[in-house]
Amino acid sequence: MTNIEIIRKIKENGKKKKRNIFQRFYRMLCWIGLKIQFGTYNKRRRIRKFFSPVGGRISSFLSGRIAQPVGGAFRELRDIVSESRSGGFGQAFGRHKGFFGGVVNVVLPLICIGVLAGVAYTVLTSSHALEVTCNGKVLGYIEDESVYNDAVQLLSQRTVNTSSDYMDSLSPSYSMASVSSSMNMSSETLCEALLADSSSVENAYGLYINGELCAAAKSYGDIQFIMETFLDQYKTGTPGEQVTFMGTTDIVSGLYSTDRIVSSDKFAKTISKKRTETQIYTVMEGDTAQSIANVANMSYGRLMKLNENLDDNPEPGTSVLLEKELPVLKVQTIRTVTVKETIKFTKTTKKNNQKYTSYKKCIQKGVNGEREVVKLVTEINGVQVSSEVISSTVTKEPVEAVYEVGTKKASGVGSGKFTWPVPGVRTISSPFGPRWGRFHSGIDISTSGIYGRTVVAADSGTATVKRSAGGYGLHIIISHGNGYSTCYAHLSAVSISSGATVAKGQAIGRVGNSGRSTGPHLHFEIRKNNSATNPMRYF
């Protein structure tokens, strides 16, 4: 054999082996299927064999005990009908008395069983309740009297009657009844029944504020329009503004007493009214009856009437009864507001040890700055109750004020050499010596426009400020500690205080016209050991 034939032979043997494997696998599957089918058939046959006696008995029972008697009864009933048509019912009844007796024996027990089942169902599904009768009319059934009491409370909120006979007529009578539990009424349903039974109620819409009835009107649209108009008065048109009612406001449809239903105009006035509430205030230190009344926005008479034993000056810790008017409807407004605020400038000082402590000079004026502040403002009925800063931007920086002050302390002892008390004015209107029949103990320095000119200390020393209605008027005496003292009279103002130590040339006041004076001038004296001397001897 050639190599090609050998290779072909090997391939044919391989194909035969593959075919043998598939054939075996197929035969195995067929064998398993036959086993399952055979086992199932045997089980079904055994089950039928087991239940066949039971089925036979049931079939014989149904045919012998039910089917045959029923069939016989129908045949006899057919005979009774045909005989009744030919000979009358009496003849048919006489011939078939046994049939009618059998029917009665069967039907009566069935009727009794039905009645017993109905009674049992009624007992099991029913419960005992109170039958409510008012004005001779049964309103319904409730579990206990508390349901009726709750209904009357709801009724009192929804009805306002001018006659007290209405509430008296609501006195109910109760009797026990056995009804289905689904027939028991709630307090709200019973309230509606009481209102429906009344001749003084109508369908309307009531405005409830925090659960309390405020007023009722017939038109739902009118109520909505009035409330929207009420909100509009607090709107400013600010972008993002929120204007809402505080608390809960509900419009409820139902039966309302005609005395509670008002016109649209009166409804608008009702929700705009204020209600009076009482509060307790604890007296604090410094409080008086009048101040408490002012803060509470009450009259003094009303406060004293509410608190009969209250003193005008009550002791701290005393409880005081106050009245406060609050709006029926509270409106909360939240808006974002942008305002400009002033930034106050700060002050700083620079020390100068060459100047006396009384020296002070502004070397740079302070300028306020500005900032733009965005605030979240909350108002209640147009009155601001809170303000929260959201952002702040400085638009103009403040300029700091700078002052130069002296730190050099003045000596309380003078040098004995004096400087002229009114710088820049040398005119003497009245000299030292005799004048008008009297002795003039100093000199008068005066000129046109001298009023308000600065007066300086002629020498260092300790100052004393005095004031008299006549004579020298407002004046300063400086003791120089070396036997000398100087006097500056008829001043309009002083810039030092008594006991201050002043330096030579320091400003101490301004020229005036106080006391006994014929015109604006400075009366200046130099005293030596308390004796007046001519000031011109020292200049």
**Calpha distance 296→306 (Å, rounded):** 13
Round to whole Å and give the CA distance between 34 and 28.
Answer: 10
pLDDT tier, 484 (very low <50, low <70, confident <90, very high otherwise)? very high
> Domains along the chain?
274-327 (3.10.350.10), 333-405 (2.20.230.10), 413-538 (2.70.70.10)
Cα dihedral 492→498→503→507 (10° resolution): -20
User: What is the predicted pLDDT for the residue at 161?
Assistant: 42
Strand partners, 438: 435
The closest alpha carbon to 338, from 370, 385, 367, 383, belongs to 370
pLDDT tens across 423-435, in order? Answer: 999 999 999 999 8
Helix (H, G, I), strand (E, B) or coil at 304: helix
Q: Model-level pTM?
A: 0.42
| Distances in whole angstroms, Cα of residue 486 to Cα of each of 43, 356, 456, 494, 508 | 148, 20, 11, 15, 12
pLDDT at residue 17 greater than cutoff 60: no
DSSP code at position 512: B
Tell me the pLDDT tens digit for each residue of 138-181: 777 777 778 877 877 777 766 644 445 555 666 677 677 766 66
For the stretch 341-398, pLDDT in tens is: 999 999 999 998 887 776 788 999 999 999 999 999 998 888 788 889 999 999 999 9
417 alpha-carbon distance from chain centroid: 78
Q: Could you please report the per-residue DSSP string of 161-218?
A: -S-THHHHTT--EEEEEEEEGGGBPPHHHHHHHHHHH-SSEEEEEEEEETTEEEEEES
Residue 347 to residue 364: CA distance in whole angstroms: 10
Predicted confidence (pLDDT) per residue in 504-535, tens digit: 888 999 999 999 898 999 999 999 999 999 99
Token digits of residue 371: 């900032």
Torsion angle, alpha carbons of 420, 421, 426, 430, to 10 = -120
pLDDT tens per residue, range 44-77: 777 766 666 655 566 665 555 555 566 666 666 6
Residue 11's pLDDT is 54
3 state DSSP class of 387: strand
Alpha-carbon span 18 to 485, nearest angstrom: 149
